[in-house]
Chain A
Amino acid sequence: MSIKDKAYIVGIYEHPTRLATDKTVMMLHAEVAAGALADAGLTKNDIDGYFCAAGDTPGLGQLSAADYLGLKTRHIDSTDVGGSSYLLQVGHAAEAIALGKCSIALITLAGRPRAEGMATGTQPRAPAVPMPESGFESPYAPATANMYAMAAMRHMYQYGTTSEQLAWVKVAASHHAQYNPHAMLKDVVTVEDVVNSPMIADPLHRLDCCVISDGGGAIILTTPEIAKSLKRPLVKVIGAGEAPKHQMGGKVDLTYSGAVWSGPLAFAEAGVKPADIKYASIYDSFTITVVMQLEDLGFCEKGQGGRFVSDGNLISGVGKLPFNTDGGGLCNNHPSNRGGLTKVLEAVRQLRGEAHPKVQVANCDVALAHGTGGSLGTRHAAATVIMERE
């Protein structure tokens, strides 16, 4: 049994706000849900499966959200593994639809860390309830930036990756963001701009880090039959994979991510290879995240990611693998400190032919969205989704 061709993405919406001082988190969830429903041509009471991540949704799992939104469903999934949760949920929703457990699935993400003044990357986060590893990590002040930085430092040591190579990821994102009116950072930057920006956590500079933004997004998936009755371009899920990676009992290896497992699962299910992918949305919490995930997904050999992203290879119309044509997390937005959902949105726009004309990939028939939730430096969940235009 496979999810290939069993579920179609018929509704997407990205909240235009980047600073939501005038909205609650639940208002944002409701607004993105309404936006995706309008895009699909469906109404709230059509939803019979609701997917959200416990970590960005107020309340116990999704219960308060289901109450607030007035949902009556027959399938519940509040899986939370951080920023990649929504990529997992696209796969989970496709599974539920394939099995007949629901027919119209809604996925939402929303948050306002910027309005709340959160120092997302540099402030260690203390969990309300200690985790089993807490005593062995919290005293050392792990934040988000220095955890990814340790992966970057090891990658540089082991493979000769340079700060200039990492900077190309940001340069490519900025080339795309200039065409996105909603992007937080619209200025095109150079490699020099990135490597001369202030050091945050060696070897990551300020411009190696994604933005801190408010907002959110939503996705609606449905059955082939319902999708064909709607008036939207037909974009279907053809493969999905997910995998956790962690410290492996002390056999720590920060040179690769869980994409080495999630990627092959998704490619095998979809029956395509990296060379078939016309556009890739790659979670860009930091520039190093993109380099490692591209290697692990098989777009280049292990250790060659720095060379692969250099010289504009990720810029639409210039390079071989157009990525994050909305500007990604590095320039556009990173709602609720979670970049997985917006990765799906831009991939769907590309497949529909609805990306900005300056960044639209010609004949974009197969696209990939991939993300890392948690941290490359400790433990994370990798998730890969492959989609096709019919």
Chain B
Amino acid sequence: MAQAQDRKISAPAVNLETQHFWDGAAEGKLLYKKCTQCGEPHFYPRTHCPFCFSDKTEWAEASGKGTVYTYSVMRRAPIPYAIAYVTLAEGPTMMTNIVDCDLDSIKIGQAVRLVFKPSEGGPPVPMFTPA
């Protein structure tokens, strides 16, 4: 049993392209981008669709449901933590942390749900916990 503890989370770098994403995070929303030309969702969000290269992309809100694609518990850290890729119900896979659980219980394929954790001097950061 290795219960996850809260660690200090660095403030995410915010720029004019991602300000809307972080404004959404402050309201408890996880946003991603969807292309209005080819229909593909993508993550991390950017102006140009990385599939068809259209600049006609729009923001969408994720349900917050996902599954663990892969993960690793960093043991050689002052506070061990679990880094992961979570595949959102909407399709894209994003890097994240799995928090508020026994780190030894995390499994690939596990259902997880969105939570937000405060960062140091920045907007809250989307993370996941077992559903």
Q: Is A65 an interface residue, CB under 8 A from the partner?
A: no
Which residues in window 18-70 of B have CB below 8 A to A? 18, 21-22, 32, 40-44, 46, 49-51, 69-70
Q: Which of A242-262 contact B (CB under 8 A)?
A: 247-252, 254
List residues of A (137-167) whose CB comes within 8 Å of B's CBs.
Answer: 137-143, 145-147, 149-154, 157
Within the complex, what minimum Cβ distance (angstroms) separates B79 from chain A?
A: 10
B11: chain A residues within 8 A (beta carbon): 139
- Could you say which residues of chain A place their CB within 8 Å of the CB of B15? 130, 135
Asked if A132 is an interface residue, CB under 8 A from chain B, the answer is yes
Indicate which residue in B46, B83, B87, B108 contacts A141 across the interface (CB closer than 8 Å): B83
Q: How far is the CB of A367 from chain B (nearest CB, A)?
A: 33
Partner of A132, one of B9, B43, B46, B70: B46
User: Do the beta carbons of B13 and A134 come within 8 Å of each other?
Assistant: yes
Q: Is there a chain B Cβ closer than 8 Å to A276's Cβ?
A: no
Expressed in whole angstroms, the minimum distance between the Cβ of A210 and any Cβ of chain B is: 15
Other-chain residue from B50, B84, B93, B119 in contact with A139 (beta carbon distance below 8 A): B119
Number of A-B contacts (CB under 8 A): 122
Q: How far is the CA of A367 from the CA of B12 in the complex (A)?
A: 45
Residues of B within 8 A of A132 (CB): 17, 44, 46
In-complex Cβ contact of B71 among A130, A141, A150, A199 (8 A): A150
User: In the complex the two chains form, what is the Cα distance from A135 to B70 in whole Å?
Assistant: 20
**Beta-carbon nearest neighbor of A138 in chain B:** B10
CA separation between A145 and B80, bound complex, in Å? 13
Closest residue of chain B to A200, judged by CB?
B76
A252 near B83: Cβ-Cβ < 8 Å: no
Q: With a CB–CB cut-off of 8 A, which chain B residues contact A152?
A: 72
- B74-A249 in contact (CB<8A): no
Contact B73 A142 (CB under 8 A): no
Q: Which residues of A contact B97 (CB under 8 A)?
A: 140-141
Structural contact, A252 and B93, CB atoms closer than 8 A: yes
Give the residues in chain A near B93, CB-CB below 8 Å: 247, 250-252
Q: A145-B74, A199-B75 are in contact. Are A138 and B81 (CB under 8 A)?
A: no
> By the criterion CB–CB under 8 Å, are B75 and A136 in contact?
no
**B81→A141 contact, CB < 8 A:** yes
B14 within 8 A of A: yes
> A145 contacts which of B14, B17, B18, B76 (Cβ < 8 Å)?
B76
Which residues from 180 to 231 on chain A have a C-beta closer than 8 Å to any C-beta of chain B? 198-204
| A122: interface (CB < 8 Å) | yes
Residue numbers in B under 8 Å from A142 (CB-CB): 83, 95
- A382 CB, min distance to chain B CBs, angstroms: 19
B interface residues (Cβ-Cβ under 8 A, vs A): 7, 9-15, 17-18, 21-22, 32, 40-44, 46, 49-51, 69-77, 81, 83-85, 87, 91-97, 108-109, 119, 125, 127
12 interchain pairs, CB-CB under 8 A: A136-B18, A137-B95, A138-B10, A139-B9, A145-B74, A147-B83, A153-B70, A202-B73, A250-B92, A251-B92, A254-B70, A378-B95
Interface residues of A (CB under 8 A from B): 122, 126, 130, 132-143, 145-147, 149-154, 157, 198-204, 247-252, 254, 378
**Given A201-B75, A250-B91, 20 further pairs, Cβ under 8 A:** A130-B13, A135-B14, A135-B18, A135-B22, A136-B43, A136-B44, A137-B95, A139-B125, A141-B83, A143-B74, A145-B74, A146-B74, A150-B85, A198-B75, A199-B75, A247-B44, A249-B42, A249-B43, A250-B41, A250-B43
Shortest 8 CB-CB contacts between residues of A and residues of B: A250-B92, A149-B72, A249-B50, A135-B12, A130-B13, A250-B43, A252-B93, A249-B42
